[in-house]
Amino acid sequence: MAAEAKIDPMHQFEIAPVGGGELVASPFVLTNSAMWMLISLAVILLFMWGGTRRAVVPGRWQAAVEIVTDFVGDITRSSIGPEGRKYLPWVFTSFIFILAANWLGSMPFAVFGLKPFTVTSHFTITGIMSIISFAIVLGVGFWKHKLHFLSLFVPKGAPLPLQIFMAPIEFISFMVRPFSLGLRPFVAMFAGHILLKVFGYFIVQGLMAESAMGGFVAFLCFLFIVFMSGLELLVGAIQAYVFALLTAIYINDAVNLH
């Protein structure tokens, strides 16, 4: 019985072929990670399709799309300035993808027999997105300012001895950006899903105890999971916002050398 009740909270993050079987190194194998990325893409395309209706009086769907696009547009304009519109496509893409992936992975689809998979709980996904953001920053910085872009690491107005001391620190801080940018959403979703899995196990164990105390513990854990599920949706939205905001701020450094 103890062996049957054993829980593995890490199993939910395992990448496996859809339909079972062993994972092989082949581009023709559809994994659960790839499937949920495609589902996220389909949901995003369906959502954005509603924004193509240019009605004079927008409906709820069109209004929702306009609110999201205006929200991300405000992020780029306030963070980068007049040139922010040029970089809106990537900032918006990163925001809407992380938001959709986070929320889809937090939905209770298992009730209908479909096991959700949060692709942003893998650092390979968020890490690649952060590398793309970092590549844009480097490309824009060197394309616009050439070698003068390196002045970003030298504090303006500081004495020469302080500049020599601060420049390596600023450079290391700059190089850590892609790692921290991708690590933040990954850790948030990874930790939250482990917590939900563990407390779900407590519910099962409490019900299996067949006692009043066990039932009470299971009820408390159920309430906690309901609260945490709502919190996961909020955290998923916040992480998408933070990723988009930091990306815009980093691009601003490359554009305006602040």
Average of per-residue pLDDT across 233-245: 95
% of the chain with per-residue pLDDT over 70: 91
pTM: 0.88
Number of domains, the chain:
1
4 pLDDT more than 60: no
15 located within any domain: no
19 located within any domain: no
1 located within any domain: no
Share the mean pLDDT of the chain. 86
Instruction: Please count the helices (runs of H) and the strands (runs of E) in the chain.
Output: 6, 0
The SS3 assignment for 222 reads helix
Residue 258: predicted pLDDT: 65
8 located within any domain: no
Q: Specify the higher pLDDT residue, 40 or 2.
A: 40
24 located within any domain: no
Condensed to tens digits (0 to 9), the pLDDT of residues 93-115 reads 999 999 999 999 888 887 777 78
Residue 129: predicted pLDDT: 95
**How far is 221 from 206, CA to CA, in rounded Å?**
9
132 pLDDT more than 90: yes
Residue 25: predicted pLDDT: 67
From first CA to last CA, the distance across the chain in angstroms is 62
pLDDT band at 6 (very low <50, low <70, confident <90, very high): low
Tokens read off for 228: 């945490």
Average of per-residue pLDDT across 131-152: 90
68 pLDDT more than 70: yes
Q: Which domain holds residue 136?
A: 30-256
Residue 82: predicted pLDDT: 85
152 located within any domain: yes
**How far is 101 from 36, CA to CA, in rounded Å?**
8
Classify the phi-psi angles of 210: left when phi > 0, otherwise alpha if psi is within -120 to 50, otherwise beta: left
251 located within any domain: yes
* DSSP letter assigned to residue 81: -
pLDDT band at 211 (very low <50, low <70, confident <90, very high): confident
197 located within any domain: yes
